[in-house]
Structures are given as C-alpha cells and as structure tokens.
Amino acid sequence: MAAKLFKGSEYLITEVSKNDVFTPEDFSDEQKQIGETTEQFVINEVVPHKEEIEHLNYELSAELMRKCGELGLLMIDAPEEYGGLELDKATSMLAAEKFSMAGSFSVTYMAHTGIGTLPLIYYGTKEQKGKYLGKLMTGEWVAAYCLTEPGSGSDALGASATATLSEDGKYYLLNGTKQFITNGGFANIYTIFAKVDKQHFTAFLVERTTEGLSVGVEEKKMGVKGSSTTQIILDNAKVPVENLLGEIGKGHKIAFNVLNVGRFKLGATATGAAKQAMTEAVKYANERKAFGVPIATFGAIQEKIADMNAAIFASESVVYRLAGMVDDRLATIPKDTPNYYEAYQEGIEEYSIEMAIAKVFCSEMLADVVDEVLQVYGGYGFTQEYPAEGFYRDERINRIWEGTNEINRLLIPGTILRRAMKGEIPLQKEAMKAFESLMSPSFEELDDSIPFAVEKALLANLKKAFLIIAGSGTQKFMDRIKDEQEILLAAADMAINIFAIESAVLRAEKMLPTCSEPRKKAAESAVKAFAFTANEKVATAARKAAYYIEEGDTLAMLLAGIRRFTKYDATGLLQAKRNLAAAAIEAEKYIF
C-alpha cells in the first residue's frame, strides 16, 4: 500500500516519494506464483504451437482458451460471487505481461479477458452474469467486443448500427456492420454497441447463434496473424430485451471505461513483448560474429542494448506504479457497497490520464525496441527465419488499437484541462507559481546525500516546464485550446515522459537499499540512460509547443525557461550505458 493516495494527473503538480509507488520488486509470493504459472503455461502449451497458431486455427485457439480456463487464467478479474478470483490489477498486469510471449494467442486471450468479458463484469445484471460469466471463465465460450464500424473508429459515438424494439417488445432488432472484431471468427458472445432509435448509444450481449448475426471473412493482416479479425454483420439480428447491457443511452460509459483498462493492459503486454524481443537480440549479438568477434563487443550494438534495457525498465516501472495506484484506490471501496462497480468505474476513470500514458509510452517503447532488435540481426532480421521480423510486424497494431496513440495523446492534456476547469486539480495556481519561478533566479543547491538528487531536481523542473506550457496555451487560446491538436500532442509528450522518468527514478530509489552492488550500479545506469533520452524528448516537445503558442519576447522568455528547466547533467552517460549493456550481455536478457 502506498503512503499516499494520489489523484489522477496529480503527479504533475506535486512531488511523489518512493514510498508512494508500487514496483515489480514489491510482488507478493502469490503474485509471483501466478506470474510463473502463466509463464510456464505459455512456454509449454502455447509456444510449441506457435506456427500452427499463426496460420489461424480456430479449434486450437478455442482449445487453448479452455486450458487457460482450467488454470484459472480467465477468472482473474471476475467477481468472487460468480466463482472468479477478483485479483488486483498488479496481478492482472503481471499475467498479461507474461502472456505476451504467446504472440497472436495473447491477442485472443487479451480480447477475451479484457474488452470481451469486462463489460459483462462491470455492467451485467445478476441474471446476465449468472448466464454467461461461468462459460467465459472456463473458456467454454470465447468473447468479443464490437465497437468500431467501417465508417467510425476513434469517433466511436458516430456509429451507425441501430437497435429497434420489436413490435411485441421482446427483442431488439440490430442492424449494421462492425469492423475489425478481434476473436470475431470464433467468439460465442459479442458485446455490440448500437443506437436505440438511431440516437441512444447502447450495449447488447449478443450470442453467436442469434438469428440475423453473421461473421465476415478474416482480414489479411500485417501482424498478429494468428488472431481472428472479422466483420460482424447484423441484419435484423434478434436480441432478447434481457440482453441489453447497462442502460439505454449509457453505452458510451461502457465502451470507454472498458477501453481504459484495455489501454493499461496494453502497456503490460507491450512491456512483456519488449523483454522477449530484447532477449533474442542480445543472444544473437553474442553469437553473431563480425570482424572475428561477437557483435555484442561493439559499442554500436552495446548502445542499442543499453537503451533498450533502460526503456523497458521505465516501461515496467510505469505499468506497475499505475497498477499500485489503481489497486490502492479500488481497495478503498468496501466490497459490500451497493453499486460497487459504479464506484469501481470512478476509481478507474480517476486514472484515465495515466492509463493513456501507459498505452502510448509502452507501445512506442516497444516500437523502438523491435526496430533496434531487427537492426541487431542485420540482413537476417529482414528474413522470416529469425524472430525479429515477426516482432516487428506484430508490434505495429499496438499504436493503433485501444484508441490510436493520437487519440490517447489528445486525451491526456484534454482531461487535465477539463479537471482543472472543474477545480479538481489546482492547475492554474501551480502554473502561476511556475511562471513566478521562471522570473526569479535559482540558487538551489543539490543535496547529494539523497539518491538520484539530480534526477529529482530535474523532475521538479520538468513539471514546471509542463505547467508553463499548459498555462501559456490556455492563456492564449482559452477554451479553444482543445482544438489546437498540435499543441496538445506536444503537451502530452511532456506529461508522458515526465511520468516515465519519475516512475523509473522512484523504482530505482526503492530498489537501492536491498539490492546488490552490481544491481545497484545497473539501476543507476538505467535511470541515467533513460532520463537523458526522455528529458530530450520533453525539451523538444516543450520547444515545439512554445513556437506553436507564442512569438516575440514572450516566446523568447518561454524558450529561456525551457532551456533552464530541461537542463540535465548526465555526466558519465557513456559509462552508464556500457555498464548496463555489459550486464545485459552477460545475462543474455533484460536484466531487471
């Protein structure tokens, strides 16, 4: 349990301590054991069938889902009342991370346990849960989620699927087409969004055998080829009225809340995938010789290995810090609260900003990692004989689904500003303070006795830089800022990287007292390597935003402020990277 419960986005205006963050080093025996069971299951039962899975085999996938069911891997998020385990998010994320090694099958698993099952868990009635949840937990049935349409994606509420009550009042007749439905080809139950009377956005639980529902052909995809992706076509699909999920006109709540968790979990799977890809690359770098020596002995390769390791360290720190935040918040809700899941949703919603951060940061971390992994393999990376090209293709979708990274970026400052206007976070006040400090010279001395004193000072400054940019933007554009997307994207990049640097620093600081000397050195190196890169990203984003917002003297003042607040003394950077690379090359894997 953290020392303090933080509000969503509060990290941007306050100092966070190491005791406030949950880290992978804090896992309980049970959490580790669940991670191990998941990992062993994937290695022994899924990986040997990878080739067959890649050719899309419904029966094999369905059988593996039943095996997941036997082990309890489908009951992590389900309530105890219905035979589920109702485990915390840290456990759920760890299982997701371990599952990523299953490649395409992890997509099947994630869609089923995430967007497939969560709408029912969060919004289902007793009868609906009683009828379907058992089957979904044993893997007897597979679930899918149908939001996107051929003409609407990010603008989900622009859906044109309709639901019309039948004359006898017993059925809704659903019409329309749903696009890119994961598990579409072999799912047994679909959560489908459609507009009642063409205007009230509403969710329905629709069984596969429903009259009027048909499944389209499989999409020919670039990656995750072993997962099923089809259209779902509704032609007067006859859905019993008791299968309406939640309330009429409240479908958007279901759609978006479920996506929040999905985004968060995507961060965990991306982290797992990156670890696996990096491990392969390091092994290869140790084997492959050039000029008579293993390529791992070259600085050019070592730098890649160090950067990958540092970025994954940050990514892992982000995911589990967020898990801890959400778990602490959800733990404050008594289980016997009437409308438990309503309070639960509010808890999730509280961290929608951090969930978007996890989605964007981890998916882009993975993109960078697979790109460098392929590069380490050289020409062989471009062939299908080695795993690099598969990692490369499979990665790409992560920056698109569960809300594109653009949509997620926009959501970050958008939500922050909305909350500030509502008075939930004192953004205005803090921005004023940041402007004041911009005007006054700094005489602060670093306290070297504190671990990561340089990085902590940097974080305090970066937060000021963010506040100055956010403050300037709102001052200039007022509430029209929400339409200035280029500025919002830049602000998002700042918020994302600040959260990531902070997560990495606090985790490393928490590790130090109990870890060995070599591990300590590695953690310090990872922090330095990551903080340097991420700080440069914040600085670039800040400068870009300054040019977008201001001109003349005010611009000059902003730029000077940015220069001051993004100053980071990374003395020893090269040695830090070499240390980190050496440790990873010796271990032949991601080392934390």
Partner 1 sequence: MKILVCIKQVPDMESRFKVNAAGDWYDQSDLAFRMNEYDEYAVEQAVQLKEQLGGEPEITVVSIGPERVGEPLRKALAMGCDRGVHIHDADSSRKDPWQIASLLAAFAREGSYDVIFTGMQSQDRGSAQVGMILAELLGLPSVTTIVGFSYEDGQVTVRRELEGGARSVVRVPLPALFTCQLGLNQPRYPTLPNIMKAKKKEILLVKEGDFALTEGRALTSRLFRPEKKGRGLVLEGDVAEQSQRLVEILKIKTAVFR
The span from the CA of 443 to the CA of 466, in Å, is 21
Q: State the minimum distance, in angstroms, from the CB of residue 38 to partner 1.
A: 9
The span from the CA of 313 to the CA of 527, in Å, is 8
Stretch that binds partner 1, among 50-58, 203-211, 355-363, 584-592 (CB under 8 A): 584-592
The correct pick among 14, 63, 72, 248 for binding partner 1 (CB under 8 A) is 72
- Count, residues near partner 1 per rule CB under 8 A: 24
* Residue among 350, 364, 402, 502 flagged as catalytic: 402
Where are the strands (E) in 219-266, listed by range? 229-240, 244-245
Three-class SS of 153-204 = CCCHHHCCCEEEECCCCCEEEEEEEEEEEECCCCCCEEEEEEEECCCEEEEE
Stretch that binds partner 1, among 128-136, 516-524, 559-567, 574-582 (CB under 8 A): 516-524
Q: State the minimum distance, in angstroms, from the CB of residue 1 to partner 1.
A: 17
Q: State the minimum distance, in angstroms, from the CB of residue 519 to partner 1.
A: 5
Q: State the minimum distance, in angstroms, from the CB of residue 77 to partner 1.
A: 11
Q: Does 33 bind partner 1 (CB under 8 A)?
A: yes
Interface pattern 377-406 for partner 1 (x via CB under 8 A): ------------------------------
The answer to whether 402 is a known catalytic residue is yes
Provide long-range contacts, Cβ within 8 A and 24+ apart, for 25-32: 25/507, 25/510, 25/511, 25/514, 26/320, 26/324, 26/510, 27/90, 27/94, 30/91, 31/90, 31/91, 31/94
Q: Rank residues 33 and 442 by Cβ distance to partner 1 and give the closer one.
A: 33
The correct pick among 13, 34, 194, 457 for binding partner 1 (CB under 8 A) is 34
Q: Which residues, in sequence order, are CB contacts of 482 under 8 Å at separation 6+?
A: 414, 417, 488
The span from the CA of 507 to the CA of 457, in Å, is 16
Q: Rank residues 150 and 518 by Cβ distance to partner 1 and give the closer one.
A: 518
- At residue 231, the 3 state secondary structure works out as strand
For residues 254 and 184, is the Cβ–Cβ distance under 8 A?
A: no
Q: Does 312 bind partner 1 (CB under 8 A)?
A: no
Q: Rank residues 157 and 587 by Cβ distance to partner 1 and give the closer one.
A: 587
Q: Does 29 bind partner 1 (CB under 8 A)?
A: yes
The correct pick among 21, 46, 64, 76 for binding partner 1 (CB under 8 A) is 76
Q: How far, CA to CA in Å, does 308 sit from each of 364, 398, 580?
A: 12, 18, 10
Report the relative pairing of strands 289-290 and 200-207 from DSSP bridges: unpaired
Q: Does 479 bind partner 1 (CB under 8 A)?
A: no
The correct pick among 15, 19, 25, 30 for binding partner 1 (CB under 8 A) is 30
* Catalytic residue annotation: 402
Q: Which residues bind partner 1 (CB under 8 A)?
A: 29-30, 32-34, 36-37, 40-41, 70-73, 75-76, 85, 87, 515-516, 518-519, 586-588
